[in-house]
Structure 1
Amino acid sequence: MAGQYPYGGEPPQDRGSTALRSVLILAAVAGVVTVVAGLLIVLRSPQEYGLASQRDMLPVTVQPDGKATGQPAQALFKAAPTVPPPLPQLNPAPPMLPSTPQRIVIKRLGINAPVQSVGLAKDGTIQVPPADNPNLAGWYRNMSTPGEAGPAVMLGHKDTRTRSAVFSRLYEIRNGDTIEVKRQDHTTAVFTVGGVEQASKKTFPTQRVYGSQSNAQLHLITCGGTYNRSIGHYTDNIIVYATMTSSYRG
């Protein structure tokens, strides 16, 4: 009959529908190609698109090398773990009475940070400042206070998983630089750097850092060396040895 199709037959396709379908398929293919190309660009340069963490971009060269400041490289202090800390070429100032530290200031490195008291963790290691406050230094309260006779020990993060932290530039410090620690008794102890050491965490110079000293010293510790992604830690420590050479009220 007119207007009917034989059994088993298929109605002829509408040409307009076919053209529209072809256009839609081509548009979809083009869209997929565009997305893939964009992803390839982003993956090749993740830091330009905010996808690379600060830690992923950290240099893996041995520190310090002096290149960051354009100054000649300074020789790192190297000695057996039992050798005393290096002293600056200035006479030490007489030690002061104990007083809790409140802020640490290293003007040349742009550091001006509050100080928090820390103790020992359950595993016997020194606690570190909380990672959620990267601009915070920790003072080990079981040792001397800064300015008191003996070594005062402060720790700070080099970085967190998302940004740099309080001691990110500590490897740039140089012999003769000054470090100020503002204390609770309204005095400021001024320390002069005598040496910088990069030590493997496997051979940490415990005696040099924590051993008894007759003058007032300040030892700063942060991470250094290369970042081992398999264990989530740096291989080394950067240790700064400084001796109190003056103080002032304020």
Structure 2
Amino acid sequence: MTTPPPGQYPPGQPYGVPLGPGGQGYPQPVYGQPVFQPVMLPQMQPVQAPPPPPEEKPPGSGAEAVRRLLITAAIVGLVIMIVGVVIMVNNPDEYAASERSTLKRVAQDGLAPSVGPGGVGQPLTQAVATAPPPVPNIPAAPAMQPSTPKRLVIPKIGVNAPIKSVGLDRSGAIQTPPISNSNLVGWYRGGPTAGEAGPAVMLGHKDTTTRSAVFSRLHELAYGDKIEVYRLDGTVAIFTVGGIEQADKQTFPTNRVYGHADNAELRLITCGGTYNHTTGHYVDNVIVYATMTGTRLAKRKS
């Protein structure tokens, strides 16, 4: 015999087919519901109990209920407003306007005709896909032989960081440096070395879960700024910034970043734009384009 779920049927009732539309209600006992009638003697009349007095409602009970409902609604609304303010304070990147220096501006046709010069006070732009990499108005230095990059120095934004080589992950994207080391730059070893002909690509984090990281101020660079890469062979490749852009990750300018280049060039990439708390990633990339305009020997440590 099947045992009904506890609490669904009253105790002592047989378990049968539920009554009512959609199986609602309780099953009837197998032998019907017994009804007991009082025995009436012929010479006696049943004594009827007086009807209960009508229930008295306290004066103003309807108005009181409405008042309580309004008070409850006001409290709920206040709680919702407080929660919203707390969320906005804790997530400023999603609800506050971006800083002007990292604001991405697009032209009426959707994208700018070329990569902008960048710099504090200048909104960053994303260029059309066919725009060439920006170059400074300085002659490029002759390319050097390959040599592993060891340290990146950018005096303007206080960067002095070791470089670690990185490859590709399982999805085919370039790996990023370990998030546990906030002052570490990754160089893509599948491309040229810094100072060698072609675009050398380096990546760094904008921030970690607890602090800012090596490229947190990358968006402050502008046309003409200097970048130094210390190489394993004892030389220093000196690059001059030609421009900077902020590009949507969904329309990343692959050809402009990784495409062929006759001169020794450098690309620095980090995250930018709005932080998406759902995905845990920023929606844009900040990209710095630079060309090698000089070289020197690294100073020997005494």
User: Which residue number corresponds to residue 250 of structure 2?
Assistant: 202
CA RMSD, aligned part only? 2.4
* Aligned sequence identity (%): 58
Q: In structure 2, do the counterparts of structure 1 residues 125 and 72 end up closer, same or farther at CA, with 3 Å as the change threshold?
A: closer
Q: How does 1:166-185 map to 2 (within 5 A)?
A: 166-185=214-233
Deviation string 1:108-139 (CA, Å, 9 cap, x unpaired) is 10000000000000111000000000100000
Match of 2:292, SS state, is: strand
Larger Rg: 2
Q: Choose which of 230, 255, 263 in structure 2 pairs with 1:215.
A: 263
* Structure 1 residue 72: Cα displacement: 5.7
Classify 1:186/1:225 alpha carbon distance in 2 versus 1 (closer, same or farther; 3 Å). Answer: same
Q: Which amino acid aligns with 1:199?
A: A
Distance 2:100 2:152 in 1: 22
CA contact 1:60–1:226 (8 Å) conserved in 2:
no
TM-score (norm 1): 0.73
Per-residue deviation, 1:78: 4.2
Q: 1:241 maps to what in 2?
A: 289
Q: CA separation in 2, counterparts of 1:60 and 1:216?
A: 37
Q: Which runs of 5+ in 1 are unaligned?
A: 1-39
Would you say how many aligned residue pairs link Structure 1 and Structure 2?
198
Partner of 1:101: 149
1:83 maps to 2:136: no
After TM superposition, the runs of 4+ consecutive aligned structure 1 residues lying more than 4 A away are 56-60
Alpha-carbon spacing, 1:160–1:97, altered in 2? closer, same or farther (3 Å): same
TM-score, normalised with respect to structure 2: 0.61
Residue type of the alignment partner of 2:176: V
Greater relative contact order, per chain length (Cα 8 Å cut-off, separation 6+):
1
What is the identity, as a one-letter code, of the residue corresponding to 1:80? V
Aligned to 2:201: 153
User: 1:103/1:172 Cα in 2 relative to 1: closer, same or farther (>3 Å)?
Assistant: same
Q: Deviations over 1:149-196 (max 9, x none)?
A: 000000000001111000000011111000000000000000000000
Question: Within the alignment, does 1:61 sit opposite 2:98 as a pair?
Answer: yes
* 8 Å CA contact retained: 1:62, 1:226: no
Output the CA distance in 1 between the equivalents of 2:97 and 2:185: 24
3-state DSSP of counterpart to 2:261: coil
